[in-house]
Amino acid sequence: MVARKHNGSTVHRRQLGRMLKEARLQSGVSISDAAAAIQRSNSTVFRIEGGDGPTRGPEVYVLCQTYGLSVQMTEALVAVARETTSRGWWAPHRDVIPEWFNLYLGMEQSASEFRWYEAEVVPGTFQVEDYTRAIIADSYPNIDQSDMHARIAVRQQRQALLLRDISPPTIRAVINEAVVRRPVGGRRVMAAQCLRLAQLSTLPNIELRVLPFSAGLHAGVMTGPFTILSFPAPESGRPSDPPTVYVEGYVGALYLDQEDEVMRYDQAFDRISAATGDPSGDKTREILWKASQEADA
């Protein structure tokens, strides 16, 4: 499991590092010469190119000059460097956010597409407040009210990305039927939660499917829950960051971005989605509306 501390924008750090490494290799400048140019160690250059932590604008400027980059490209990379030191909206709540989840929050804000498979609970950004409260109370039996409010605030704030005005992400989500049948928080809470899911399924940027029990054995049984994040491609046509698979565990998480790893999860998601037998989403909305009415009865 990965458990690393990160500050600033993860995607911007990795994007900057990748572009600087590419520029260095194209210019023929060695690691040692790059380190000497900014009067730092070789390990610092490796850290910058690996996107491991924030990078100062003046150092990026010197590296760009050393690599012979144009004024326009230099200005662009220095601007990206400023973003690597910015604090995310979740910084005030860092005391209640696991370090390994900080990385995901940074990536979540920059992603242009999500593919989710969830087998046990409603995905965090789809949860109504009382559902979230029930999950947190069960996970932290002795939690005090201030921490409870902080954790709920983080979960609720994450939901803003679903409805943001500028470039809302595309979300393709498949949830196991068990998720809507399990009465988390009681019948009233589940009625509201299923109604919320039904409403979200009508949004143009959200494709939500329920995987019915009748599907039998399917790829998700083997993979367990996972999220695939994809990132926007700038004018160059290349994504700003490679697709990444996020697999959350009880005390940590895996972040997989190797091409063969992502491909296997891509294929698994396609098989899970096909197993729903619901290309239009009509069956899913029927299940959700019915579940909300049954829970409220």
> For residue 245, what is the domain's CATH number?
3.30.870
Query: Minimal CA–CA distance to 84: which of 50, 54, 63?
Result: 54
Residue 154 contacts residue 97 (beta carbons within 8 Å): yes
Residues 119, 186: one domain? yes
Secondary structure (3-state) at 232: coil
Residues 126, 264: one domain? yes
Residue 83 contacts residue 15 (beta carbons within 8 Å): no
The residues that bridge with 116 in the sheet, in sequence order, are: 173, 227
pLDDT for 6 = 39
Residue 3 lies in a domain: no
pLDDT for 231 = 84
pLDDT below 50 — which residues of the chain?
1-8, 235
Question: What is the domain count for the chain?
Answer: 2
Burial class (CB in 10 A: 0-12, 13-18, 19+), 280: exposed
Residue 5 lies in a domain: no
Residues 208, 228: one domain? yes
Other CB atoms within 10 A of residue 204 CB: 7
pLDDT for 194 = 95
Helical ranges in the chain per DSSP H: 10-27, 31-37, 42-49, 57-66, 71-84, 99-110, 129-139, 145-158, 177-181, 187-200, 219-223, 259-275, 282-296
The range of the structural domain enclosing residue 176 comes to 91-296
pLDDT for 87 = 63
Residues 15, 69: one domain? yes
DSSP 166: S
Residues 38, 151: one domain? no
- pLDDT, one tens digit per residue, over 145-199 is 999 999 999 988 889 888 887 778 999 999 999 999 999 999 999 999 999 999 9
Residues 80, 199: one domain? no
Q: What is the pTM of this model?
A: 0.75
Q: How many CA atoms lie within 13 A of 77 on its CB side?
A: 29
